[in-house]
Amino acid sequence: MRILMFGWEFPPWMSGGLGTACYGITAALAGLGHRITFVLPWDEEAGATSFLNLVSTAGIPVSDADRDDGTETLIRRLTFRPLPSLLHPYLDPKHYQTLYLSKRRRFPETASVYGPDLIAEVIRYSRASGVLARTLSFDVIHAHDWMTVPAALLARRISGKPLVLHIHSLEYDRSGEGANEEICAIEREGLEKADRIIAVSHRTKRMIVERYAIHPQKISVVHNAVSQAEARQACRTEESGERKMVLFLGRITFQKGPDYFIEAASLVLKVLPDVTFVMAGAGDMMGRMIERVAELGIGDRFHFTGFLQGEEIERIFSLSDLYVMPSVSEPFGISPLEAMLYDVPVILSRQSGVSEILKHALKVDFWDVRDMAAKIIAVLKHPVLARAMTTKALDELRKIRWEIAAEKIALVYREAAPGASETE
């Protein structure tokens, strides 16, 4: 089957788990014989991936004839919440401009990759995607999350081909009850007009049904996965020393629960004073978290690394004795699977989609910092428990593969486009 796929990130240009998921999904779909054209807003290394055709909208000329006034009017009404990550779609134009100029100074090629402001970039991406839809031949459209909805709906109107909308995260996950109403409006339009919907967990499916009144039969759950090849086992030979190290890795935002991790750390250090806690990532709560660590007097046992990527992430996993994901609302969460690849035991919140498929991880409610601290202490004090968790986790990971996820996605394609050929 020929697939036109819209996404905002793809390795090596990534700001979070979405890029990892897109890579795993497309590689596995290609392995099943499907042909994928993946449309991105930047032009670095376009077309360089062997198993799919990476297409950039950066150099595509657009005219007034390519406008989609209904969608663009909706986009222009948006307000954005700032998070310090250039590719994340929650920025207001002012913060985007600041980040854009900062990146431009450090990386001059940024000027050819991004628009001068986020709204201009979204509109350019949508219009250019419409131009592509008129020139490409495909059987189904596959779009990832709300930032691609305008582009995908325009491609659907132009081509008449069915749209599969893949929900990795909802605005309600990112912002809770303070969700941006305009972003929710775009999500709602995409969910209502899509022919089929893929949710990354049953938790996300329930939220789509409850928040947007979408019929459950329209939604298929396809859990994310992890590739064994993603772990470089040579890194695992590194040791952090006698002092145990506990890791938080993710955006330092409301959604990820960094404040609960810090409160639990302060309780652990009263029992195990030699433990080192590491918070790897960046986000709008980082300043407050640094202040809270200082208030608790645990600064000598707590380290902030800033944003990590590539080999830096591999090394931090290899040095860790325990990984904790205390997310307040996590649609899935690939990082616990990645930690397990490095023989790192995992504690994760029950408010996460990945908890639906992991049996050999300890689970806590994100708000219960005493329980979180008790479980951290148990893993660090009892090596037998830690070894049992990692051994069983590796067995469990053999069943959590992108190939299985791709087969389920291909079934959704067949339901959305029953007349299309299976493979090309």
> Given 3.40.50.2000, 3.40.30.10, 3.40.50.11810, 3.90.76.10, which CATH number is that of 2-225+402-416?
3.40.50.2000
Q: What average pLDDT does the segment 258-271 reach?
A: 98
Name which residue leads in pLDDT, 94 or 60: 60
Torsion of CA 148, 154, 159, 161, to 10 degrees: 50
With bands split at pLDDT 50, 70 and 90, how would you rate the model's confidence at 10? confident
Given this model, what pLDDT does residue 14 score?
A: 66
388-410 pLDDT per residue, tens? 999 999 889 988 999 999 999 99
Residue 292 has pLDDT above 50, yes or no: yes
Is the dihedral angle over the CA atoms 151, 81, 333, 232 positive or is it negative?
Answer: positive
- List beta partners, residue 38: 5, 54
Q: What average pLDDT does the segment 306-319 reach?
A: 90
Lowest mean pLDDT among 135-139, 163-167, 220-224: 135-139
- pLDDT over 70 percentage in the chain: 76
With bands split at pLDDT 50, 70 and 90, how would you rate the model's confidence at 166? very high
Is the dihedral angle over the CA atoms 70, 72, 73, 78 positive or is it negative?
Answer: positive
Collapsing DSSP states into helix, strand and coil, what is residue 378? helix
Secondary structure (DSSP) of 160-213: ---EEEEES--HHHHHGGG--HHHHHHHHHHHHH-SEEEESSHHHHHHHHHHH-
Type of residue numbered 233: Q
Lowest mean pLDDT among 106-120, 139-153, 208-222, 318-332: 106-120
- The per-residue pLDDT of the chain, averaged, comes to 83
Given this model, what pLDDT does residue 132 score?
A: 83
Q: What average pLDDT does the segment 160-183 reach?
A: 88
Same topology for domains 2-225+402-416 and 229-397, yes or no? yes
Residue 86 has pLDDT above 60, yes or no: no
Each domain of the chain, given as residue ranges in start order, spans 2-225+402-416, 229-397
342-374 pLDDT per residue, tens? 999 999 999 999 999 999 999 999 999 999 999
Residue 161 has pLDDT above 90, yes or no: yes
Which CATH superfamily does the domain covering 229-397 fall into?
Answer: Glycogen Phosphorylase B; (3.40.50.2000)
Collapsing DSSP states into helix, strand and coil, what is residue 391? helix
Residue 59 has pLDDT above 90, yes or no: no
Residue 220, token pair as written in the block = 């298929």
129-141 pLDDT per residue, tens? 888 888 889 999 9
Q: What average pLDDT does the segment 292-317 reach?
A: 93
Residue 45 has pLDDT above 90, yes or no: no
Residue 90 has pLDDT above 90, yes or no: no
> CB 134: neighbour CB atoms within 10 A?
10
Residue 103 has pLDDT above 60, yes or no: no
Given this model, what pLDDT does residue 40 score?
A: 81
Given this model, what pLDDT does residue 104 score?
A: 47
310, 14 contact by CB (below 8 A): no
With bands split at pLDDT 50, 70 and 90, how would you rate the model's confidence at 58? low
**Beta-carbon-side half-sphere exposure of residue 200 (alpha carbons within 13 Å):** 26
| Best mean pLDDT range from 68-77, 127-136, 311-320 | 311-320
Given this model, what pLDDT does residue 35 score?
A: 92
Burial of 74 (0-12, 13-18, 19+ CB in 10 A): middle
pTM: 0.82
Q: What average pLDDT does the segment 416-420 reach?
A: 85
Q: What average pLDDT does the segment 304-325 reach?
A: 93
Residue 286, token pair as written in the block = 């980082």
Given this model, what pLDDT does residue 68 score?
A: 58
Q: What average pLDDT does the segment 225-244 reach?
A: 61
Of the candidates 226, 210, 209, which has an alpha carbon nearest to the alpha carbon of residue 218?
A: 209
Given this model, what pLDDT does residue 84 score?
A: 28
Collapsing DSSP states into helix, strand and coil, what is residue 249? strand
Given this model, what pLDDT does residue 55 score?
A: 74
